[in-house]
């Protein structure tokens, strides 16, 4: 959306509202776009952290080996 500038800088999402003529007030379409961008970033961050866990690796190995996973909470 033209009114929202979005970029990632490492682990930080930078979201800039660009409606100076309206004092950066949100309208419904802009609010939805902002929520979507924030959700996308949060899912990416959560997924990246999840993939580092031992339980994730156990789940993947169990799936490939066609067996039930044995989670350790790590």
Q: What is the pLDDT of residue 63?
A: 92
Return all residues near 12 (Cβ < 8 A) that are at least 6 apart. Answer: none
Domain edges within the chain: 4-64
Give the lowest-confidence range in 1-5, 16-20, 25-29: 1-5
Q: How many helices (DSSP H) and strands (DSSP E) are in the chain?
A: 2, 2
Reported as a pLDDT band with limits 50, 70 and 90, residue 1 is low
Q: What is the pLDDT of residue 68?
A: 94
Q: How far is CA 8 from CA 5, 39, 42, 57, 60, in A?
A: 10, 14, 12, 27, 29
Read off the pTM. 0.47
Return all residues near 30 (Cβ < 8 A) that are at least 6 apart. Answer: 1, 3, 4, 17, 19
Tens-place pLDDT, residues 21-69 = 888 888 888 888 888 877 877 777 777 777 788 888 889 899 999 999 9
């Amino acid at each position: 959306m033209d009114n929202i500038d979005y970029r990632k800088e490492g682990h930080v999402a930078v979201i800039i509202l660009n409606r100076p003529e309206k004092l950066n007030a949100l309208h419904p379409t802009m609010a939805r776009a902002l929520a979507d961008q924030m959700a996308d970033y949060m899912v990416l961050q959560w997924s990246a952290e999840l993939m580092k866990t031992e339980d994730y690796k156990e789940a993947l190995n169990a799936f490939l080996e066609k067996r039930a996973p044995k989670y350790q909470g790590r």
